[in-house]
């Protein structure tokens, strides 16, 4: 039986559990708390922070290969562990250019993949005095005349909107970078849609992309995912080609997610890469013949990649987000939601609700491709979930 170590014990590791059972794989998780979601499904647990390299050394003694639930890791320490023969999938070298958002932007730019124009904000103030309207700064991407609004992002550890700020003027920018200079500044993109693609790559180089989906964000947190996205075949092909370029260039083994903006004229820009399973792929658990979690384990364990086609023409996934600080399992609301025709409810078993925290999700499968119906279902789910 293959033993897979997972750095991180949240809901992503939890959802690997069913896939692991199906494939005859044991999961051993490294996670800080004994009540973290994945502890209950793990064969063994190393209770430690995800960036605790000594704990990862212990994890390595218990498994055949190590993978990741999140990217909040100490890359230098893991490189030393890998140099001792420990197998990480994806490999540490594939993570290195991605964990820092500035490094990731440079990596994508150098591959010729379209990204928003970007710059390190401190370099602006090295050449600018006061009036931002009279200068043009050459960004690392191209000539970029600083304009507002712009987007300021923490270079590390930002997720679900944390560490991302819409900057309206130069004073806002100066205030933010005086408090913390470790930011990336980029142009604001007036997108038509936000899209995502999940793709797996095997050790032999086979790449298997899932269908491109539309993600809908509110307050910079994903609320809904519609599969498939309403895009042209050419746009779908462009996005699949981007995924293949990224995964092949990094020699990835496992699942990656690529989030994108679709702008006027069907132009695609990459927003962010997540080197792991991803919220935008949760629909695949119920909507696809092979879920993103099973596909990830298949790649990591050198098993043949599965069929990622959708079982139904359309699916809608709605995140169940915390809207209050409370210790409860919301059993009545969950019971109501579970009765929706075609619905599959997934609850993560977290001990506390907090505003914006992902507590679970629900996926509804539709028998026809009808995005209006999908949105009606989503609004119905949200009216039940967020009712006081």
The sign one gets for the Cα dihedral 209, 212, 216, 217 is positive
3-state helix/strand/coil string of 56-100? HHHHHHCCCEEEECCCCCCHHHHHHHHHCCCCECCCHHHHCCCCC
Q: Is 193 annotated as a binding residue?
A: no
Q: Is 153 annotated as a binding residue?
A: yes
For residue 49, the tally of other CB atoms under 10 A from its CB is: 16
d(CA 169, CA 167): 6
Give yes or no for a contact between 157 and 73, defined as CB atoms under 8 angstroms apart.
no
Give yes or no for a contact between 16 and 36, defined as CB atoms under 8 angstroms apart.
no
Distances (CA, A) of 296 to 17, 74, 110, 257, 293: 12, 22, 27, 11, 5
Question: Does the bond joining 149 to the residue before it have cis omega, within 30 degrees of 0?
Answer: yes
Q: Is 101 annotated as a binding residue?
A: yes
Q: Is 71 annotated as a binding residue?
A: no
Instruction: Please tell me the total number of residues recorded for the chain in this structure.
Output: 388
Question: Does the bond joining 228 to the residue before it have cis omega, within 30 degrees of 0?
Answer: yes
Contacts of 384 (CB under 8 A, 6+ apart): 333, 336, 337
Q: Is 183 annotated as a binding residue?
A: no
Q: Measuring CA to CA, which residue among 30, 35, 37 is closest to residue 12?
A: 37
Q: Is 188 annotated as a binding residue?
A: yes
Q: Is 182 annotated as a binding residue?
A: no
In DSSP notation, 133-196 reads GG--EE-SSSEE---SSEEEEESSS--TTTTEEEE-SHHHHHHHHHH---EEEEE----SEEEE
Give yes or no for a contact between 308 and 202, defined as CB atoms under 8 angstroms apart.
no
Q: How far is CA 111 from the centre of its chain?
A: 21
Annotated binding site for ATP: 101, 153, 186-189, 194, 271-272
Annotated binding site: 101, 153, 186-189, 194, 271-272
């Amino acid at each position: 039986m293959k033993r897979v170590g997972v750095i991180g014990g949240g809901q992503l590791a939890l959802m690997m559990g069913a896939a692991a059972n199906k494939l005859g794989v044991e999961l051993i998780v490294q996670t800080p708390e004994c009540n973290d979601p994945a502890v209950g499904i793990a064969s063994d647990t190393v209770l430690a922070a995800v960036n605790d390299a000594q704990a990862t050394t212990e994890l390595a003694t218990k498994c055949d290969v190590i993978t990741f639930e999140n990217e909040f890791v100490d890359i230098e320490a893991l490189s030393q562990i890998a140099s001792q023969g420990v197998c990480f999938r994806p490999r540490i070298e594939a993570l290195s250019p991605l964990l820092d958002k500035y490094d990731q932007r440079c990596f994508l730019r150098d591959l010729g993949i379209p990204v928003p124009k970007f710059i390190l904000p401190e370099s602006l103030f090295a050449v600018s005095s006061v009036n931002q309207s009279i200068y043009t700064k050459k960004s690392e991407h191209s000539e970029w005349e600083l304009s507002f609004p712009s987007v300021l992002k923490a270079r590390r550890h930002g997720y679900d909107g944390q560490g991302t700020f819409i900057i309206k003027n130069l004073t806002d920018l100066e205030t933010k970078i005086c408090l913390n200079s470790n930011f990336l500044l980029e142009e604001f993109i007036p997108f038509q849609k936000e899209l995502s693609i999940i793709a797996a790559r095997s050790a032999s180089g086979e790449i298997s992309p899932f269908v491109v989906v539309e993600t809908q964000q509110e307050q910079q947190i994903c609320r809904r995912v519609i599969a498939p996205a309403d895009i042209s075949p050419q746009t779908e092909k462009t996005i699949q080609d981007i995924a293949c370029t990224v995964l092949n260039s990094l020699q990835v083994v496992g699942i990656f997610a690529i989030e994108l903006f679709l702008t006027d004229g069907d132009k695609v820009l990459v927003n962010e890469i997540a080197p792991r399973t991803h919220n935008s792929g949760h629909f695949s658990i119920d909507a696809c013949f092979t879920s993103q979690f099973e596909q990830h384990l298949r790649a990591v364990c050198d098993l043949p990649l599965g069929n990622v086609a959708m079982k139904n023409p359309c699916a809608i996934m709605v995140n169940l987000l915390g809207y209050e600080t409370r210790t409860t399992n919301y059993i009545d609301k969950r019971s109501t939601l579970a009765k929706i025709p075609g619905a599959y409810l997934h609850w993560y078993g977290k001990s506390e609700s907090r505003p914006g925290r992902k507590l679970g999700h629900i996926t509804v499968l539709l028998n026809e491709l009808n995005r209006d119906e999908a949105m009606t279902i989503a609004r119905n789910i949200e009216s039940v979930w967020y009712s006081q």
